Amino acid sequence: MGIADDQRYRRVRRYRANGDPRGYVKVKNRRALEGLLAHRRGMLARLQAVVGIDASKSVQGVEDEIGIIEAGLEELKPPPGSLPENEWTGSH
């Protein structure tokens, strides 16, 4: 592993530890963003099913994160025609 690889590895680990979707965009990790999006959507569904307490602030926070993740995925989307359609859309 070279110096550049080592620096990238540290950067990815730092972003993973923080759970910051912008970090995955910065290191161009579409798979991680897709996994994070699925996780956040599951969290949102569970939060929306909560009764007995006011979960509205948590719901809003997760919705905000979903927006950031979706924007990140859009930013990483390849230009039209650069990949077969199923290469990009097959995992959504």
The residue extents of the domains of the chain are 3-89
The pLDDT tens digits for 16-30 are 445 667 777 777 788
Q: How many whole angstroms separate alpha carbon 36 and alpha carbon 33?
A: 5
Q: Looking up tokens 């550049």, which residue turns up?
A: 4
pLDDT at position 61 is 93
Half-sphere exposure of 52 (CA within 13 A, CB side): 1
Do 30 and 76 form a contact (C-beta atoms < 8 A)? yes
pLDDT tens track for 62-85: 999 999 889 888 888 877 777 665
Whether the pTM exceeds 0.75: the reply is no
- Per-residue pLDDT, 39: 94
